[in-house]
Amino acid sequence: MKFSKLYAPTTKDAPKDATLPSHQYLIRAGFVSQAGSGLYNFLPMGKIVFDKIKAIVKEEMDETGAQEIQMGVVTSADLWKQSGRYDAFGKELCRFKDRKENEFVLGPTHEEVVVDIVRNRINSYKQLPLHLYQITTKFRDEARPRFGLLRGREFTMKDGYSFHEDEVCMKKEFAVMEATYTKIFTRLGLDFRAVEADSGAIGGSGSKEFMVLADNGEDDIVVCEKCSYAANIEAAKRAKKTTTIEAPIADLAKFKTPNMKTIEDVCQFLRVDAFYSIKAVVKKAIYIDKEEIVVFFIRGCDTLQETKAINACGALDLVDAELDEMQKVGLHAGFIGPVGLECVKFYIDKELREEKNLVCGANEEDYHWVGVSMFNFKEERYADLVAVNAGDTCACCGESLYVTKGIEVGHIFQLGQKYAKAMGATFLDKNGKAQPFFMGCYGIGVSRLVAVMIEASHDEKGCIWNKQTAPYLLDIIISNVKDEAQNAYATAIYEALTCEKYAVLLDDRNERFGFKIKDYELIGLPYALIVGKELEEGFVEIVERKTLEKTVVKQEDALSKIRELLA
Ligand code: ATP
Ligand code: MG
């Protein structure tokens, strides 16, 4: 490709809201253009990268025997009502009506549609297993579209769905997909981990996320220093927290604690370590048909993990409760405790089960209990509610855990029979009995990966592409296009490599050398060949983008040297 013909509108300035390198460079290097909040167009170079990633995903998926299909972006609302997700999916689901008042949704994921595709068509266990996948557009009306391609509203996902006669087969395919995803992300050259995950709105039992380790990741991942345990903080487990600090042994008694509304105040006043106190976190839970105040009790030294709390109460979302909302249901903010609490729904962190000698609010203005024992609560009240912290103990091996940042690039789920049951999709098993399918589903954020490649590899000058995903492998820069010798030499190399099917760029623009090299560094192709003044003495320069190291080579050796590098 000749740069003079390439549509790659590079700019010095990034949009104001572009805080991450990938967002800045994708726009500045002319890979994408923004069309609206969370909406992006791919320009020629962005499209090449996108297609290269897509090709790797497709190759590895096809290798497993999964079959590619293409489902519509617009899906009938009726299917979503059958699964129950028309309401449960919340505001991310974009619903609309046509001129005849028929209801539709823009597919944020395609479990419903794929179940409808096989329903009444796969009738016997003999036709199983089956794995169908697609690489297409999704739409999610994200609350906070941001970070460019990392969190768009319209984005491209590879989503695969497998159907099985039993749990064993479903788990087998899950393992195949885990191995396949590992291959895909390894081929892309990414530093990643498969971690235990929360299943979110998709539902089902076991699920694993593939996280690329990156400072700018939105996800916190908990990793063990010793064993292989790794989990998203939303699903992370730890060994029960203990302390060497002596317990404040006391009989149950009510203490006046005037105006002491925080854990710190109360603990200081009563001379108790926060470990032995119970903190009340009050939230407003949003359900499909109602809102309600819910209280979560955790140790004073812990923090509430929101996703775990949402799972415990089954809400769509949790928001902070206002003071007047708490008062209205009879709560005394700052003095809330589980003992004798009746006015609201509440949950207790499971690590508090059967603990003794605790301090908690007395549900009365200016009073706290001391010497509280946690024996008389119903089992349903207990749930895993707390965020695992760096330094907590690994439940698998007893070593220390640490927390790091990751970007989710893939998520694989064991769905079980959830969708098939809800939508009445059955097959006849070996005994001739109708059974709902066991399903798995497997997603990869293909457009997100375009940005992830940059997050994982860039410097202060621009992108640093690897050969697997670079839009072109080499930039042949003609220092002065008016110099005939430079032109002739560069063009000959360009034509030779193009003829050999190497994707190379020839910067033949009538621009200053400094301008061209800046563009080269910004776009970040793996190598550049600089054809400049030194050609008169018979020399050219090869630049490696990653290190920006320059190697001077004889003009007659350049081609073979480049072939070696690009191979
Ligand atoms: P997240 O927690 O980042 O919102 P998710 O759990 O909602 O992701 P899935 O439903 O598992 O994501 O979708 C599969 C994959 O699609 C994700 O692993 C991610 O790579 C990608 N993806 C999800 N939402 C977006 C988005 N808004 N923009 C770009 N890619 C996305
Ligand atoms: Mg999401």
Question: 480: which 2 tokens?
Answer: 């002065």
Give the largest CA-CA distance in the chain.
96
CA dihedral 175, 414, 200, 56 (to 10 degrees): 40
Mutate to test the pocket of ligand 1, among 37, 57, 408, 414 (most ligand atoms within 8 A of CB): 408
* CB within 8 Å of 434: residues ≥ 6 apart: 426, 427, 428
459 lines ligand 1 (CB under 6 A): no
199 lines ligand 1 (CB under 6 A): no
Distance from residue 168's CA to the centre of ligand 2 (Å): 28
Domain parsing of the chain, residue ranges? 21-237+402-455, 253-383, 474-566
Distance from residue 416's CA to the centre of ligand 2 (Å): 21
Q: Which DSSP string corresponds to 114-130?
A: HHHHHTTT--BGGG--E
* CB within 8 Å of 452: residues ≥ 6 apart: 22, 150, 190, 212, 214, 407, 409, 445
Report d(CA 280, CA 275) in Å as an integer: 14
Whose tokens are 């004073």? That residue is 300
- Ligand nearest to the backbone CA of 155: 1
User: In this structure, are residues 484 and 525 in contact, taking their beta carbons and an 8 Å threshold?
Assistant: no
- Ligand nearest to the backbone CA of 153: 1
Whose tokens are 């190399």? That residue is 493
Q: What are phi and psi of 27, to 5 degrees?
A: -80, -50
Report d(CA 556, CA 516) in Å as an integer: 24
Distance from residue 52's CA to the centre of ligand 1 (Å): 20
Distance from residue 109's CA to the centre of ligand 2 (Å): 10
- Fold topology of 21-237+402-455: BirA Bifunctional Protein; domain 2 (3.30.930)
Each of the 567 residues of the chain gets a pLDDT tens digit; together they read: 999 999 999 999 999 999 999 999 999 999 999 999 999 999 999 999 999 999 999 999 999 999 999 999 999 999 999 999 999 898 999 999 999 999 999 999 999 999 999 999 999 999 999 999 999 999 999 999 999 999 999 999 999 999 999 999 999 999 999 999 999 999 999 999 999 998 765 555 679 999 999 988 999 999 998 998 999 999 999 999 999 999 999 999 999 999 999 999 999 999 999 999 999 999 999 998 899 999 999 999 999 999 999 999 999 899 999 999 999 999 999 999 999 999 999 999 999 999 999 999 999 999 999 999 999 899 999 999 999 999 999 999 999 999 999 999 999 999 999 999 999 999 999 999 999 999 999 999 999 999 999 999 999 999 999 999 999 999 999 999 999 999 999 999 999 999 999 999 999 999 999 999 999 999 999 999 999 999 999 999 999 999 999 999 999 999 999 999 999
200 lines ligand 1 (CB under 6 A): yes
Whose tokens are 């976190």? That residue is 281
410 lines ligand 1 (CB under 6 A): yes
- Fold topology of 253-383: YbaK protein (3.90.960)
pTM for this entry: 0.90
Mutate to test the pocket of ligand 1, among 147, 185, 448, 452 (most ligand atoms within 8 A of CB): 448
CATH homologous superfamily of 474-566 equals Anticodon-binding domain (3.40.50.800)
